[in-house]
Amino acid sequence: MRKTIRLILASVLMLVFVQSAYSQFSQRGSTVNLYVEREDQPDGGIFLPAPPDTSSVAYIDDFMQWQWGKTVRPTERGERASKESASSTTEMARIYSEALGFTISRSETPAIYNLMSRSYHTAEQASKNPKAKYMRIRPVIQYNEQPSGRSDRLESLRTSGSYPSGHTTRGMATALVLAEMAPEYQDTILRRGFEYGESRIIVSAHYQSDVNAGYMCGAACVASMHSNPEFMADMEAARAEYYKISGRKPNTVIDYPDGQRILSQPVDTASYRYYGDMAQYLDAKGKRPTQRGAQAKADADFSLDAVLAAFSEPLGIKLDAKSTPALVSLLYDSRHALQRNALELGDAATFRKRPYVQVGDEPFAGGDYKTTSSYPSAESEIGWGIALILTEIAPARANDLLTLGYRMGESGIITGQHWATDIVAARIMAGCMVARLHTDAAFNKLLRDAKKEYAAKASTVK
């Protein structure tokens, strides 16, 4: 009898232990596979704004893109979008194998698969906080549709938040990591990451603003992963494997990411999306007399000195050439590269009039740039790109840094210098550019020096 009781007690204790272990596993997402745990990642519920509601002017673009998605569903592109509703490491391997031109698998490319898998699962955590915070209703539920995504289930869509898109977060994070690993294929890889987000609009699982937020969460997650030595070691191993398989030689000169190949064309006045852009511009004008308007006017100066002054506060130290030379050198070169990338895209893409020019206003702030394209927003690419880079350097301050970087883009709408869709394009390209910069030895040297300098400076700040 006593032996039986002891066995029962032992079984109960073991059950409690297993339940406790499972609970910890569930809360943290994984015990071994993540580069950065959920609670240590940037929180999109903090650095991103709340999603548009159905009475917001920003919802106009969401509605128009939902309508566009419906027209695409019966097409070959719609069928691909339906297939891409499956979100898994297997699906990521399939999609990016096509982009790279060779098969990614656990057996054939173990180092690449390991990097991709761990990055994917880390990014899986990145959208959970804002999803739980906002619990936005998905368009498929809002408009009483049936799921058209092959792997989407109505009950799951009904009980999980739409903002931001988790698929997009995972897909773009994976694309950014693989583009850094294989820069020769960066445009093809990043285009697939972009389209993976668009697929969620087509199948009515997400609004455009959910997907936009997913692109941002994915980039922020990748920035946080760069602070983990395991990620950096896995990246080097995967890169070596990639060069061996591809037969290419490393350290060749690689152009900057080409936004014409990665993004869709800029919105023009004949596009249905122009209504959303115009509505947001007119709404933003009302903020000019407010404190937010004064903030936007200050953000219109994106010179190096202004950038250093703006990011000093969220970074927690004063940035200047005398006291932080390594950080300033890094930001000087990064700002130049980000601006150059934006201007190259602006010169190559269809010219777009700035909002104040289009409607016959005077610019509220910034210069008179009648001859410079509104697409994309250089200040947005600079602001978001530098926020991502500084997130690698000071991950504990990520939310403040990313909030500022995101705000700098929104300021361009208030000043009348840029349309909302120009700013989204610039932020996506900023993430692509940061991935590309990581393949540059000079940039990595500056980054290492800046990390050491920041650690020394931050240790003296109380």
Question: Residues 138, 170, 192, 206: which is the catalytic one?
Answer: 206
Amino acid at 257: P
pLDDT at 25: 33
- At 293, is the pLDDT very low, low, confident or very high (cuts 50, 70, 90)? very high
Tokens of 130: 């804002």
Task: Please write the tens of the pLDDT for every residue from 191-223.
Answer: 999 999 999 999 999 999 999 999 999 999 999
In the predicted model, is pLDDT for residue 22 greater than 80? no
Residue 167 annotated among the catalytic residues of the structure:
yes
Helix extents (H) in 254-397: 259-262, 274-285, 291-299, 304-315, 325-348, 355-359, 378-393
Q: What is the mean pLDDT of residues 305-327?
A: 97
Question: Residues 38, 136, 138, 167: which is the catalytic one?
Answer: 167
Residue 206 annotated among the catalytic residues of the structure:
yes
Task: Please write the tens of the pLDDT for every residue from 126-164.
Answer: 999 999 999 999 999 999 999 999 999 999 999 999 999
In the predicted model, is pLDDT for residue 178 greater than 50? yes
Q: What is the mean pLDDT of residues 444-450?
A: 98
DSSP 3-state percent helix, strand, coil across the chain (nearest 5): 65, 0, 35
Q: Are 381 and 428 in contact (CB under 8 A)?
A: no
This prediction has a pTM of 0.92
CATH code of the domain made up of 271-462? 1.20.144.10
In the predicted model, is pLDDT for residue 29 greater than 70? no
CA distances from 153 to 130, 235, 317 (A): 21, 35, 48
Q: Who has greater pLDDT, 252 or 54?
A: 54
Identical fold for domains 34-254 and 271-462, yes or no, is: yes
CA distances from 321 to 119, 307, 326, 329, 336 (A): 35, 13, 8, 8, 16
Domain ranges of the chain: 34-254, 271-462
Choosing among 1.20.144.10, 3.30.2130.10, 3.90.1170.50, 3.40.47.10, the CATH entry for 34-254 is: 1.20.144.10
C-alpha to C-alpha distance for 184 and 336, rounded to whole angstroms: 22
Best CA proximity match to 384, nearest among 206, 227, 212: 212
Residue 210 annotated among the catalytic residues of the structure:
yes
Q: b or e along 343-378 (b: 16 or more beta carbons within 10 Å of the residue's beta carbon)? A: ebbbeebeebbbbbbbeeeebbbbeeeeebbbbbbb
In the predicted model, is pLDDT for residue 2 greater than 80? no
Question: Residues 187, 210, 299, 422: which is the catalytic one?
Answer: 210
Could you give the 3-state DSSP secondary structure of residue 157?
Answer: helix
Tokens of 92: 């990521």
Angle ∠(101,107,110) on CA atoms, nearest 5? 75
Question: Residues 200, 239, 352, 427: which is the catalytic one?
Answer: 200
